[in-house]
Structure 1
Amino acid sequence: MTEDTAARRRVPRGPGATASSPDYSRDEKGWNDDDSGKDVYSKVGVTAPRFGGGGRAARRGPPPPPQSLGELVEQNWEHIPPIIYTLLSCWTRFHKIGKADYVVWDEAHFGKFGSHYLKREFYFDVHPPLGKMIVAFVGLLSGYDGGFEFKSGEKYPPEVPYVAMRVLMAMFGVLMVPLAWYTSVELGLSWRACHLVALMVLLDVAWLCISRFILLDSMLLFFTFTTVFGLTKFHNQQWRSFSFDWWFWLAFTGFNIGCVSSVKLVGLFVTALVGLYTIEDLWEKFGDLRMSVRTQLWHWGARVACLIVLPILVYMASFKLHFMILSHSGPGDAQMSSLFQANLIGIDFSNNPLEVAYGSKLTLKNMGWGGGLLHSHVQTYPVGSEQQQVTCYHYKDINNDWVITPRWDEPPVDLHGPIRYLQHNDVIRLVHPATGRNLHSHNVPAPLSKLNNEVSCYGNATIGDFNDYWVVEVVDDINRGKHVDRIHSLTTRLRFRHQALGCYLKANTKGLPEWGFKQIEVSCDKTNDPRDMYSYWNVESHWNDRLPPGEMKLYRSPFLRDFWHLNVAMMTSNNALIPDPDKEDILASKPLEWPFMHTGLRMCGWGDNNTKYYLLGTPVVWWGSTISLFVGVGALVVYLMRQQRRYVDMEPREWDQFLYVGKIAFLGWFLHFAPFLIMGRVTYVHHYLPTLYFAVLMLGHLLDHFFFRPNRWTDRTKNAVFGACALTVIGTFWWFRGVAWGIDGPINDHWGLLWRKSWNIYEQL
């Protein structure tokens, strides 16, 4: 069997096998007991190959039971390399994992979120909940009780099993390596290319470093790898549609799409890769005139069920579990709707008086997605009127309180007279009891929304004017419909129209600069869009001793409404994470700096007494994989030009395989990288880590295509190229191992790490 034939096998034979010995490698249908192998380029029953191929092999019976350990190893030789790589991965991921006995980098966030789950306190974050629930489960398995605050840089107390938690989290990083091996096998790469891909995943110090802490990134990477693996496995089942394996790997891919998207929304990028593959696959089936309409519909239905419905159900299930666990009031309450909060343990909304009256003290919740509470404080605007600031704030304090007060020309509230209920079209003043000032607007541009009027607090109990008047407009009531007479707390949706100017009180989606404490801008909107949710408000907390408490049965919030509300709030808050022009973020980096590793990221303090971790990739892996992307595109252009001139460089099946692996690698890289180029939010180098995987696959694919597969090279040459690449990866990993395993003492004592002047390893910041 030639090297070229062996390279085309879906499952490569082990180095110890000989040409005369039978090959007991396993395929999807059984065992091969001859040397014929399975051709990855072949495809049966498809007129035009698409992303590539997996061929049909004759069904073979099982091999005879092994009579010795040697036969057992020989029959399972295909699994020996990934087992060895998995053990090596355990060593690299677990070595010195507890060396830093303090909270490192984003452990401060995700460890804290895990604590909230263990204490069942509701919190808010911009990421979906699955990864953080896994962090909490890891803490539960480790014996952690949720009592530590995870303050950045703080030393772990003895009762926090941080080493056990890090080890369990590192298992996701461990499993990346065998997944990379098996994915390379499914892509039809030769054994040399499979080894190199596995080595690069094993020995990249960025992947290694990010896997050793209590973070979400190891889970994001793991589920990205499993999604790609599932896609390649499903692709190799295409010739036996609707078999058990076909259904299993299709559902496996969909399930992992749901998981990766439930860890971070970046998972939608690998979802897009699966989507493009599916579109092309179905388009080719649509052109197959031998396929009946019924079969076409079955193919469509299977993709919809497994790649759309199943991921959505997994994603929604993570939020359902999130809401079920976090049943107590916590720091993230204000991001949710008032009705949702009313059902949290520890919230006293059920004691709210139901009907709002003049003299009631209340808080007003903006009903835009993730909207906060109407807020004011003693600080003034540095621009515009320089009056007292009015904002939206997501945390509860006394500066969120307002009192319903009559107009200046009306008598004050008589606490011993008849109760006057608040109704539609009433003209009121909103008094801020903490400062005594009135909610006010005037013809002054808002600080951010220049086309809107500024909203401020002005005057006191005796000083004010007609610009303090607001008309209460009822939009509807969740329980009672559109036509209501009295305003209820929690359920009635309101708008506040400025009587003099005709504009509407509205919360922006942007935060103010540092002088506004990054709180949400509130302005008076001149456009009067009745569908704008950010001009809707409801009464959240409500205090009035003259009124009876409401009924809890009126305060039910449906899951789908809460699910949608939280997701929009997450995306809105994520988009609001924009770089602050007034403050330099030394950790941030731009996407164009990532492929050639322009800079790294300090994950902790850089003092001489700190164990220091620097998020930096193995240079040859990052640089080589990036160059391979350009080489891959260039090679494709050259091949297409030569085809146009009627040159034949490859057989059709080889050409299909070249395109298939190239599409998976390049489109996967592009779909993960390009969105960051148009994002307004702040970005960091760890955002490139899922993208790197596809560049590594491209590098392995091109080395296979140009060196390991062609017959023009002798085995000696191929082994020399393989050995040089492997030794280079191993050598650079060993040189930079300290940035992932921890650097002790003065950083300047560790010479030789500054391969690029832009790396801030030695700078004192």
Structure 2
Amino acid sequence: MSPSHYLMPRPLKLLLTPLSLGLVGVWLFALVTRFWGLTRFDTLVFDEVYFARFGRNYLAGVAFFDAHPPLGKYLIALGIYLSGHFDPWGYRWLNAFTGSLIPLLVAGIAACLWRKPLFIFLAAFLTSLDGLLLVESRYALINMYLLFFGLLGQWLWLLASEAKKQNRAWYFIGAGLALGCSVAVKWSGLGYVLGLYGVWGIAKISGWLWGYRQGWGQHLQAWGKWTIWQMGVILPGVMVAIYSLLWWPHLRLNPGVGFFQIQQQLYDYHKGISSTAHPYCSAWFTWPLGLRPMSYFYLTVDKLTPNLDNPPLFGPMSPRNATAWVYDVHAQFNPLLLWLSTISVLILLVGCGAWLWGRWQQNQSHWNLLHVDQWPPHQHLTPAVALFVVINYGANLLPWVQVGRCLFIYHYLPAAIFSFLGLAALLTQAGSQSDIRWRGVVVLAIALVIGGFIFWLPIFLGLPLTPLEFSWRMWFRSWI
């Protein structure tokens, strides 16, 4: 056996077992759903009118102002360059491929948290069944790059925490580079950073106050071993370095603007956006229930045509009384997945609160989520896993409370992924119990998520629907 095998972190070894067959299946499913009919609408959809053109501007050497850091548009430009054409395939394919990798990154994080194959598979599978992730992957938008680098950074940080000393520094530096890239796509990538610092802080405090219990305490011990020098200087230093470096091509294209000046311009731009600047603005507290999704494309026609060359972004093309078909791309979570995941986060939050209160009051764990205290630690959902999910969920959601500008449902994506992880954890916990009723709950929940994905798939992919079929999928007035 090669020496490199011994240096590989255990979560990475786990992904190279037969479990990988299931994950390959999930990836192929994600790949097909993202690439099938990718060029269906030969027009710039939603923010493609900005981002796709900005990518082309980089290739053409045309100066412009953008409200976000440049990395996402660099990658769109790369896709256009590699395809050789500025057309829907050229500016969408790389985003679609990146989106197909998100479930695998979630699986990687899951493998670091809890080494149960069912949990790892469910984390990836549930993520692949979300609608908003699918929609955002199929157009030249930049949220997939934000998620990709943010999740990659967290995974590398977790791998670094478990790696042998020889490899630990490489994973740690890689985490800093990936997190810096996430912020270089959108500033909201800082939520992933905040989540890691929250996990590290809780792990440190837990070790100081109570020590580390055998089993679940191994995670907290691994996360808390990083020093203030490493987390306070090296990690942010790497992030700032890569973030600053990635601005260099953009600043060369805009020589009259300095680095700090453009940061101020971005801040002023977002600060100046009204809270009612767009009809699809939504408050942060509506996101966990998906109360205000967005329509990225809407068109009504009186008859189906073989293709839709250069259609307008919004219809109708024909009188409404003559409408026979509706084309709609709805930026919407899979509602059943979203609601179950939100409930899961609340359950984990209550469990974490009870555990922390018990530790504070009596120096006891009081961790009895779904009655599993009698199980060996490696076989059940531990407080460390729940804390990681809840802290990262809060770190990616709660900062939006103080933001006064117009916000949209897609701002919830980073937090939502951790709620999917929480649902996978609870389903794995319930499915591991001997009581067949718990297993029935697991089967029902998974069936509801799959059914929801299939039912709403036409409005995720923009498939033609009759007006009646479209109305069936608009369950609430706020969805329209």
Taking structure 1 as the reference length, the TM-score comes to: 0.52
DSSP-derived class of the 1:605 partner: strand
Match for 2:33 among 92, 101, 125? 92
- Shift in Å at residue 169 of structure 1? 1.5
C-alpha displacement of 1:135:
1.0
The percentage of aligned residue pairs carrying the same residue is 21
Report Cα offsets for 1:495-521 as digits up to 9, x if no partner: xxxxxxxxxxxxxxxxxxxxxxxxxxx
Q: Deviations over 1:166-206 (max 9, x none)?
A: 12211110000111122211111522222222122101111
Gaps of at least 5 residues in structure 1 are 1-23, 33-37, 41-53, 55-61, 63-73, 145-159, 290-295, 328-339, 342-556, 761-765
* Alpha-carbon distance between aligned partners in 1 of 2:26 and 2:104, rounded to the nearest angstrom: 7
Offset at 1:640?
A: 5.5
State yes or no: 1:574 paired with 2:270.
yes
- Quote how far apart the aligned CAs of 1:718 are: 6.1
- Say whether 1:29 aligns with 2:31: no
Task: State the 1:305 CA deviation.
Answer: 5.3
Task: Give the match's secondary structure for 1:680.
Answer: coil
Per-residue deviation at 1:306? Answer: 4.0
Bigger RCO of structures 1 and 2 (CA < 8 A, at least 6 apart): 2
2:334 to 618, 631, 643: 618
Instruction: Give the structure 1 partner of residue 418 of structure 2.
Output: 694
Structure 2, unpaired ranges of 5+ = 212-223, 302-316, 318-325
Cross-structure match for 1:21: none
- Per mean C-alpha deviation after superposition, the further-off stretch among 646-655 and 691-700 is 646-655
Residue of structure 1 in register with 2:185 after alignment: 263
Deviation sequence 1:75-130 (CA, Å, 0-9, x none): 74232221111111111111111111111100001011112111112211121111
SS at match of 1:604: strand
Q: Cα deviations across residues 30-57 of structure 1 (Å, max 9, x unaligned)?
A: 699xxxxx7x9xxxxxxxxxxxxx9xxx
Counterpart residue identity of residue 395, structure 2? L
Q: Shift in Å at residue 223 of structure 1?
A: 1.5
Residues 75, 277 of structure 1: alpha-carbon distance in 2 compared, 3 angstrom cutoff: closer
Name which of 49, 52, 58 aligns with 1:117. Answer: 58
* Counterpart-to-counterpart distance in 1, 2:230 and 2:116: 32
1:708 is matched by which residue type in structure 2?
Answer: G
Which of 179, 182, 196 is 2:122 aligned to? Answer: 196
Query: CA separation of 1:578/1:629 partners in 2, compared to 1, >3 Å: closer, same or farther?
Result: same
Structure 1 residue 624: Cα displacement: 0.7
Q: Give runs of aligned pairs for residues 282-321 of structure 1, distance below 5 A.
A: 299-304=227-232, 306-321=234-249
Say which of 705, 725, 728 aligns to 2:445. Answer: 725
Give the 5 Å matches for 1:20-419: 29=6, 76-144=17-85, 160-188=86-114, 190-237=116-163, 240=164, 243-280=165-202, 299-304=227-232, 306-324=234-252, 326=253, 340-341=255-256
Amino acid at match of 1:131: G
CA distance in 2, matches of 1:319, 1:273: 25
Q: Give the deviation of 1:605 after TM superposition.
A: 3.5
2-structure distance, mates of 1:109, 1:301: 41
Q: Deviations over 1:614-650 (max 9, x none)?
A: 1111111110111112211222344566775776743
**Larger C-alpha radius of gyration, 1 or 2?**
1
Query: SS of 2:340's equivalent?
Result: helix
Q: Which residue identity lines up with residue 674 of structure 1 in the other structure?
A: L
Q: Return the alpha-carbon distance in structure 1 between the equivalents of residues 384 and 231 of structure 2.
A: 20
In the alignment, which residue of structure 1 is the partner of 2:456? Answer: 736
- CA deviation profile, 1:563-620 (whole Å, cap 9, x unmatched): 111111111111111235xxx7322111111110112101123433573201111111
Pair 1:116–1:29, CA change in 2 (3 A): same
Distance in 1 separating the partners of 2:45 and 2:403: 27
The 3 A distance-change label for structure 1 pair 681 and 75 is closer
Give me the whole-angstrom Cα distance separating, in 2, the residues matched to 1:261 and 1:31: 28
Letter in 2 for 1:170: A
Distance 1:741 1:220, change over 3 A: same
**Residues 677 and 288 from structure 1, CA distance in 2 versus in 1: closer, same or farther, beyond 3 angstroms?**
closer
1:756 to 448, 453, 476: 476
The answer on whether the counterparts of 2:55 and 2:76 sit within 8 Å (CA) in structure 1 is: yes
SS at match of 2:6: coil
CA distance in 2 between partners of 1:317 and 1:30 (Å): 31
Report the 3-state secondary structure (helix = DSSP H, G, I; strand = E; otherwise coil) of the residue aligned with 2:170.
Answer: helix
> How many matched pairs?
436
Which has the larger share of helix? 2
The partner residue of 1:672 within 396, 403, 416 is: 396
On the 8 A contact 1:189/1:704 being kept in 2, the answer is: no
Q: What amino acid does structure 2 have at the position aligned with 1:29?
A: Y
Pair 89,287 (structure 1): closer, same or farther in 2 beyond 3 Å: same
Contact kept? 2:31, 2:100, Cα under 8 Å: yes
After superposition, give the CA deviation of every residue in 1:436-470 in whole Å (9 maximum; x if it has no partner).
Answer: xxxxxxxxxxxxxxxxxxxxxxxxxxxxxxxxxxx
For residue 65 of structure 2, what is the amino acid of its counterpart?
F
Work out whether residues 127 and 263 of structure 1, in 8 Å CA contact, stay in contact via their aligned partners in 2.
yes
| TM-score (normalised: structure 2) | 0.81
SS of 2:288's equivalent in the other structure is coil
The within-5 A match list for 1:487-502 is none
CA distance in 2, matches of 1:579, 1:75: 48
Distance in 2 of aligned mates of 1:189 and 1:232: 13
| Secondary structure class of the residue paired with 1:121 | coil
Does the 8 Å CA contact 1:189/1:701 hold for their aligned counterparts? no
Query: Would the aligned equivalents of 2:19 and 2:117 in 1 still touch at CA under 8 Å?
Result: no
The one-letter code of the counterpart of 2:32 is W
**Aligned partners of 1:285 and 1:249: how far apart in 2?**
23
**Contact 1:127 1:264 survives alignment (8 Å):** yes
Cα separation, partners in 2 of 1:280 and 1:304, compared to 1, 3 Å: same
CA–CA distance in 2 between the matches of 1:623 and 1:598?
Answer: 11
